[in-house]
């Protein structure tokens, strides 16, 4: 049953205290919801400045998280670096519901399980194999061709935990680097010839399911540098990606906000690449680009509230990720052009230290034509330094 009231004491807890939790928290505050955060990092994180209810501990410690969860009405995730078994134990011992549920999370908690779950649901995925030896590395190259990708099954993001391998020697080195020799599960994944990388966000709870527009993510060195919505592909392809995203959400009986990344292959296939049980970088544009952002629907979905409309506010939206340009205390320079642009929106995440390549902020521009809007957004952000 969906909620029909929100007590002023409602407290939503986040496991993780980075920018994704921060942007969800900003929406929760609109509804008078209190926010608690659990951080596993020594540095001050973006949400910790926003709430007095901040706890530090370890994602490997059930006791740490049980203490935290007991202070919350509902707990949700900002990242997927936690074990589903630990989440299940935390939920049982604290009595506090966790969404996405440990059961749903267990079906996608690492890249191997994720591929198997969606494949079993009849969703096309990129070719993959769990590799355990030099022979496996060689066999995969023979079957699917070089180069291919090696991925740490758990914990990779923004290019971390991924290695492109071009021959057996580089594959063996990458296997060791990713921890394969120490018993970590390593996945080999074939390169597919694709024309676009697509993404769809889906929010789902007991009140229903809402689907966001299919967008395109623009990648450089395994890091998303821009998002364009709607994706510059046919209506048929966009609809296909949305349908597969809903099917994937239903396959894990999900409650919460989820993101799904796809490859559009040169022969017109839409292959599911990865999923995320949380808000996702590909959906940042929805803050101004859609009637209800992914972050607002994150809050609504896990609290059992009716979900909001995902319709776009303008025909075209371009979002530019602003990465760290220096290793220094964070400072955003040369932002005047972005501030002066009608329908332009700057979001700085509140990280205290900038590192080259680190996601520090994003800029969203709304317009009537996608190509024109994207080019202008690039121009307006070209000189920004963080």
CATH number for position 38: 3.40.50.20
Same domain flag for 299 and 363: yes
Residue 47, in any domain of the structure: yes
pLDDT at residue 22 in the model: 98
pLDDT of residue 162: 83
pTM to 2 decimal places: 0.94
pLDDT band at 249 (very low <50, low <70, confident <90, very high): very high
Final residue in a domain of this structure, among 164, 190, 216: 190
**Is residue 263 classed as helix, strand or coil in its secondary structure?**
strand
What residue numbers bound the domain in which 177 lies? 127-190
Task: Single out the residue in 145, 168, 190 at which a domain terminates.
Answer: 190
| Residues 24, 32: Cα–Cα separation, whole Å | 13
**How does residue 23 score in pLDDT terms, banded at 50, 70 and 90?**
very high
In a domain, 300, yes or no: yes
Q: How many domains, the chain? A: 3
Decide if 109 is inside a domain: no
Residue 110 within any structural domain of the chain = no
Query: Among the three residues 190, 208, 224, which one is the final residue of a domain in this structure?
Result: 190
Residues 6+ apart with CB under 8 A from 202: 209, 210, 211, 212, 245, 246, 248, 249, 254, 257, 258, 259, 260
Q: What is the pLDDT of residue 181?
A: 83
Instruction: Give the pLDDT confidence score for residue 184 in this predicted structure.
Output: 85
Q: What percent of the chain has pLDDT over 90?
A: 89
Mean pLDDT of 140-160: 80
The secondary element (H helix, E strand) that includes residue 340 is: helix 336-340
The answer to whether residue 232 is domain-embedded is yes
- Same domain for 202 and 321, yes or no, is yes
More confident residue, 295 or 42: 295
**CATH at 132:** 3.30.1490.20
Domain assignment of residue 80, yes or no = yes
Res. 155: pLDDT tops 80: no
Whether 3 is in a domain gets the answer no
Reduce the DSSP state of residue 84 to 3 states and report it: helix
251-309, pLDDT tens digit by residue? 999 999 999 999 999 999 999 999 999 999 999 999 999 999 999 999 999 999 999 99
Report the CATH number at residue 372.
3.30.470.20
- The mean per-residue pLDDT over the stretch 111-129 comes to 95
Closest CA to 340 of 281, 288, 380: 380
Distance CA 21, CA 37 (A): 8
pLDDT (average), residues 146-171: 81
pLDDT for residue 1: 55
Is residue 4 over pLDDT 80?
no
Same structural domain, 164 and 198: no
User: What are the pLDDT digits (tens) for 353-380?
Assistant: 999 999 999 999 999 999 999 999 999 9
As a whole number, the mean pLDDT across the chain is 94
- Do residues 157 and 32 both lie within one domain? no
Q: Mean pLDDT over residues 135-143, rounded? A: 94
Q: Which residue has the higher pLDDT, 34 or 181?
A: 34
pLDDT for 135 beyond 80? yes
Please report the pLDDT score of residue 379 as a whole number. Answer: 97
- Which residues lie below 8 Å from residue 304, measured CB to CB, with a gap of 6+? 1, 2, 3, 205, 206, 207
């Amino acid at each position: 049953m969906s909620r029909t009231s929100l007590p002023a004491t409602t407290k939503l807890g986040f496991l993780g205290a980075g920018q994704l939790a921060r942007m969800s928290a900003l929406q929760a505050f609109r509804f008078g919801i209190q926010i608690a955060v659990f951080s596993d990092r020594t540095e001050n994180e973006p949400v910790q400045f926003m709430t007095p209810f901040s706890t530090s501990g370890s994602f490997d410690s059930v006791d740490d998280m049980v203490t935290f969860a007991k202070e919350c009405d509902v707990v949700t995730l900002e990242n997927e670096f936690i074990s589903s078994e630990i989440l299940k134990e935390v939920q049982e011992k604290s009595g506090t519901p966790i969404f996405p549920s440990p059961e749903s999370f267990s079906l996608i908690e690492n890249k191997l399980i994720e591929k198997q779950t969606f494949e079993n649901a009849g969703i096309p995925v990129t070719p993959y194999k769990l590799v355990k030896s030099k022979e496996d590395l060689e066999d995969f190259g023979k079957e699917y061709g070089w180069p291919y990708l090696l991925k740490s099954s758990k914990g990779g993001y923004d290019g971390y935990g991924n290695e492109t391998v071009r021959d057996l020697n580089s594959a063996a080195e990458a296997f060791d680097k990713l921890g394969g020799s120490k018993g970590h599960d390593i996945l080999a994944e074939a390169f597919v010839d694709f024309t676009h990388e697509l993404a769809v966000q889906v929010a789902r709870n007991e009140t229903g399911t809402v689907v966001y527009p299919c967008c395109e993510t623009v990648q450089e060195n395994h890091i998303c540098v821009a998002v364009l919505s709607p994706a510059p592909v046919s209506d048929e392809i966009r609809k296909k990606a949305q349908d597969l995203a809903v099917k994937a959400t239903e396959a894990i009986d999900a409650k919460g906000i989820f993101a799904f990344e796809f490859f559009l292959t040169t022969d017109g296939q839409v292959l599911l690449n990865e999923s995320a049980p949380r808000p996702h970088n590909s959906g940042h544009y929805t803050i101004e680009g859609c009637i209800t952002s992914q972050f607002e629907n994150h809050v609504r979905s896990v609290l059992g509230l009716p979900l909001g409309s995902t319709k776009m506010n303008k025909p075209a939206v371009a979002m530019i990720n602003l990465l760290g340009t220096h290793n220094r205390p964070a400072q955003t320079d040369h932002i005047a052009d972005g501030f002066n642009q009608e329908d332009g929106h700057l979001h700085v995440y509140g990280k205290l230290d900038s590192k080259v390549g680190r996601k520090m902020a994003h800029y969203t521009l709304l317009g009537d034509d996608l190509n024109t809007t994207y080019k202008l957004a690039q121009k307006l952000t070209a000189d920004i330094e963080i």
